[in-house]
Amino acid sequence: GQFAIVRKCRERKTGLEYAAKFIKKRRLSSSRRGVSREEIEREVDILREIQHPNIITLHDIFENKTDVVLILELVSGGELFDFLAEKESLTEEEATQFLKQILDGVHYLHSKRIAHFDLKPENIMLLDKNVPNPRIKLIDFGIAHKIEAGNEFKNIFGTPEFVAPEIVNYEPLGLEADMWSIGVITYILLSGASPFLGETKQETLTNISAVNYDFDEEYFSSTSELAKDFIRRLLVKDPKKRMTIAQSLEHPWIKVIKRRNVRNEDSGKKAEQRRRLKTTRLKEYTIKSHSSMPPNNTYINFERFSKVMEEVAAAEETLREIQKNKKSFREDIEALLSIYEEKESWYKEENESIGRDLRQIRQELLRAESARQRAQEESRNVMQAAGGLRRRYRRLEKRYGALAEQVASEVRFVQELLWSIEREKLQSGG
């Protein structure tokens, strides 16, 4: 891939072999080199969620400064199309046996609302081609997405030859885009020709948008009507009218019993010849598609020059930041100067106000001190007056004592006088 490379590795503890996918991390968010953290996490989350015989499985994850390394199931049987192209001929039944496995894998993904978005021959591998019934494995979930209900999702990605019209037209995307890709893959598998491939990328996309294809007799003379019907139901522009994965599994061409019943209606040597598909054109297609692929040195070149490019990008980013910071600093200085002037004015006003308050407090303190001195003076005067009153009280007390004794003496004299008079009266009366 552009920013990933796969190497075979061995687990030391068990001796088991795996595929190690090294994904180059994007160093700067502003850079377009490498894969963003969000995209890597999305691929990892999807791989962690899926477990199916026809889909590659994730074993472990590692990370270093430059790469995230996905330890994946080792799929060493090569591409399905390469395997089929090695045969002299192919029956539709053999083709549908492999196609059924592809559909089973996609059915599992769609049951979890996961869209692969990059179904193409090079992502359809064989686990081991040297067995009687090789097992299909769907690989590369780099652009796979979870389709959430109510969240409209648009993007332009994938391989032009296999993308659906809604991708070309930047319309809302869903699981239906994978079904279109399966239609293109089936068309190529049965004919060795690509239905929408043009001389240029733009011509290819135009053909897809217009659904411009046909079943040329040169390529489909030995193909059954059921197979063509299967393709027609997938290569439909309106995603809502396109055959779903569940419907495709129920299509008579895929259902073995129904297909056999149809074949029983055929008879003679002509029908037998019609059922066998020559792989010559499929072989030419695989050779052409591989030769048209650029050598897989993008990752190596990236490894070689990424640091320089990232340093340039970092330097440009730094310059932009410096320019931004310079403007920001100027604005900050102006703001600080304005704040300083405002504060200085405020401090002056506060200083004058505080000075006035201090003078007022000082005057109040002087008045309070004067009042305190007066109070002390008055207190002394009161104490002196109190002392004089105490002395007068003692003198009066003494005088009262003397008077009391005198009165008591006079009272006794009067009593004695009265008693004397009383006795005299008694005596004279006797």
The answer to whether residues 167 and 123 touch, using CB atoms and an 8 Å cutoff, is no
Same domain, 146 and 68: no
Model pTM above 0.75: no
Q: What is the CA radius of gyration of the chain?
A: 54
Instruction: Identify the CA nearest to 30 among candidates 326, 325, 323, 309.
Output: 309
End-of-domain residue from the set 74, 91, 113: 74
| Number of helices (H), then strands (E), in the chain | 13, 10
pLDDT in tens, 317-326: 778 788 888 8
Distance CA 224, CA 91 (A): 11
End-of-domain residue from the set 259, 281, 296: 296
Same domain, 88 and 67: no
Cβ neighbourhood burial of 243 (10 Å; 0-12, 13-18, 19+): buried
Distance CA 126, CA 133 (A): 10
Distance CA 347, CA 342 (A): 9
In a domain, 426, yes or no: no
Q: In angstroms, what CA-CA distances link 12 with 15, 17, 61, 160, 269?
A: 5, 9, 15, 41, 57
Domain that includes residue 327, residue range: 297-419
The answer to whether residues 89 and 108 touch, using CB atoms and an 8 Å cutoff, is no
Distance CA 125, CA 108 (A): 17
Cβ neighbourhood burial of 174 (10 Å; 0-12, 13-18, 19+): buried
Same domain, 48 and 85: no
Q: Is 357 a catalytic residue?
A: no
Annotated catalytic residue, options 67, 82, 118, 140? 118
What is the number of structural domains in the chain?
Answer: 3
pLDDT of the residue at 110: 97
Q: Which two tokens stand for residue 324?
A: 């931004």
What CATH number has the domain bearing residue 31? 3.30.200.20
In a domain, 10, yes or no: yes
pLDDT in tens, 95-149: 999 999 999 999 999 999 999 999 999 999 999 998 989 999 999 999 999 998 8
pLDDT of the residue at 162: 95
Same domain, 324 and 399: yes
Strands of the sheet containing 67-73, edge to edge, are: 4-10, 17-24, 67-73, 58-63
Strands (E), 272-365: 276-278
Same domain, 396 and 415: yes
In a domain, 34, yes or no: yes
Long-range own/partner contacts, residues 301-310 (CB < 8 A, 24 or more apart)? 302/2, 302/3, 302/24, 302/33, 302/34, 303/24, 306/24, 306/27, 306/33, 306/34, 309/31, 309/33, 310/27, 310/28, 310/31, 310/33
pLDDT of the residue at 177: 96
Same domain, 105 and 157: yes
End-of-domain residue from the set 59, 74, 89: 74
For residue 1, what are the contacts with CB-CB under 8 A and spacing of at least 6? 140, 142, 298, 299
Same domain, 349 and 217: no
Residue spans of the chain under pLDDT 70: 1, 29-31, 256-276, 291-314, 430
| Phi and psi based region of residue 150 (left: phi greater than 0; alpha: psi -120 to 50; beta: remaining) | left
